[in-house]
Amino acid sequence: MSKITFLGAGSTVFAKNVLGDCLQTPALQGFEIALFDIDHERLQDSANMLNNIKKTSESTSIIKTYTDRKEALRGAKYVVNAIQVGGYDPCTITDFEIPKKYGLRQTIADTVGIGGIFRNLRTIPVMLDFAADIREVCPEALFLNYTNPMAVLTNVMNTHGGVRTVGLCHSVQACIPELFKSLGMDKEGVKAKIAGINHMAWLLEVTKDGVDLYPEIKKRAIEKQKEKHNDMVRFEMMLKFGHYITESSEHNAEYHPYFIKRNYPELIDRFNIPLDEYPRRCVEQISRWKKMREDLVNDTNLTHKRSHEYASYIFEAIETDVPFKIGGNVMNTGLITNLPREACVEVPCLVDRNGVTPTYVGDLPPQLAALNRTNINTQLLTIEAAITRKREHIYHAAMLDPHTSAELSMDDIVAMCDELIEAHGSWLPEFS
């Protein structure tokens, strides 16, 4: 019996999408779906929910829960990762509140920036533990990483974990639908080429019937910027740098040095930037969970419609050898020629029985590659800190981050990092 293992299965809503899709995919019938989470109550919630979907879908797959991670992984053909180390309380709160004392404000803090750095530092050791288990009990497994910070964690699993890994993010799939809806344009028949790094990939080409749509997109964007809306940062970046970015404006506001600035507070209002957005979302999600739990876990007639998540389509393409195209995060083996080979990049990939095969992109426009490199610098130094356990590399990663370095002095950055290390306590390994 083939096996799909889901690590972080207590993420019940996300598990519904990914594994509910698998239960409805003909090529995946008869699989064991192995669920693992350190929160045993949420683990059982997800199992109950999936068994309800299994019944209404008439799936022949078997749902099993595990409290032993290695046993959950043993013999797996596919592994899906959706963990969050440290959760909202205490770690996300720490990632926001301590930088705020130094005057450094954030929106999401899960990719780069000071929040992204520390989320990486507490997650990488756990991921490397996963990798050790995988090498022992399912060395041929394909590891699908959905956990942020996407680029760094996918990089680590490939280069230091020795595990065949592809990182998956929703932003590539959502890029064209969201942009065209925002501008009142019809997305049917549109062809697009997207590449870059996770959360900062670029809509390089967008055409319909051979016609370049960028002139019309930019014309409409100029008009839309005259009134407040929720995507003002991305539109401003497109109008200044020439290309639209895949990830949302609240994310990109903190990836660059241009938008969240103490000396220019009017920028926050001008570009409609939602500071502290991620903690606010966490509080809302926690408060909604009781009702959602009743609807998801205890509804024995629960149904599911296959979503747009990539996972089941990847598994299906491998099982059936019918090709499927994705936007995947993979190591830069010469795929984007003006980004570092050590980086993890987001490029079009073909999936079939051979697995995930990335496609060659070549050079990005120079200004786009330059913006990517500003974030790659921090990503690579964060990996260096995590692998060497040297505190100085945490400082280097933070001092090279565009937003952090635009706001704080080097002395304040070092002091802030030291305070964050102390506050995280046992969530972090020892750094010398």
**C-alpha span between 189 and 208 (Å, rounded):** 6
Distance of CA 429 to the CA centre of its chain: 23
**C-alpha span between 39 and 289 (Å, rounded):** 15
Nearest to 251, CA basis, from 115, 377, 127: 115
pLDDT band for position 323 (cuts 50, 70, 90): very high
The mean per-residue pLDDT over the stretch 31-37 comes to 98
Beta bridge partner(s), residue 4: 33, 78
The mean per-residue pLDDT over the stretch 98-115 comes to 98
Q: pTM value?
A: 0.98
Q: In this structure, what are the phi and psi dihedrals at residue 33, rounded to the nearest 5 degrees? A: -105, 110
Q: Mean pLDDT across the chain, nearest whole number?
A: 97
The pLDDT value recorded for residue 418 is 98
DSSP 347: E
Given 40, 160, 170, 243, the catalytic residue: 170
CB 251 within 8 A of CB 108: yes
The pLDDT value recorded for residue 206 is 98
- CATH of region 3-167, choose from 3.40.50.720, 3.30.360.10, 3.90.580.10, 3.40.190.10: 3.40.50.720
Let me know if 170 is a catalytic residue: yes
CB 128 within 8 A of CB 143: no
The mean per-residue pLDDT over the stretch 100-107 comes to 98
The mean per-residue pLDDT over the stretch 268-282 comes to 98
Q: Tokens representing 115?
A: 């929040």
Q: Are strands 355-358 and 344-352 parallel, antiparallel or unpaired?
A: antiparallel
The predicted-structure confidence for 209-243, as pLDDT tens digits, reads as follows: 999 999 999 999 999 999 999 999 999 999 999 99
**C-alpha span between 274 and 110 (Å, rounded):** 15
DSSP 26: G
pLDDT exceeds 90 at position 291? no
Residue percentage of the chain with pLDDT more than 70: 100
Angle between helices 277-297 and 40-57 (to 10 degrees): 50
The mean per-residue pLDDT over the stretch 33-48 comes to 97
CB 378 within 8 A of CB 400: yes
Going through 131-224 in order, the beta strands assigned E by DSSP cover 142-145, 165-167, 190-197, 200-208, 211-212
pLDDT exceeds 90 at position 1? no
Burial zone of 8 (CB within 10 Å; 0-12 exposed, 13-18 middle, 19+ buried): buried
Burial zone of 420 (CB within 10 Å; 0-12 exposed, 13-18 middle, 19+ buried): buried
The pLDDT value recorded for residue 290 is 83
User: Residue 213 in 3-state DSSP?
Assistant: coil
- Which amino acid, one-letter code, is at 292? M
For the chain, give every domain's residue range. 3-167
**Would you tell me how many other CB atoms lie within 10 Å of the CB of residue 349?**
21
**C-alpha span between 328 and 343 (Å, rounded):** 13
Q: Tokens representing 301?
A: 């007639």
Both ends of the chain: CA-CA distance in Å?
A: 46
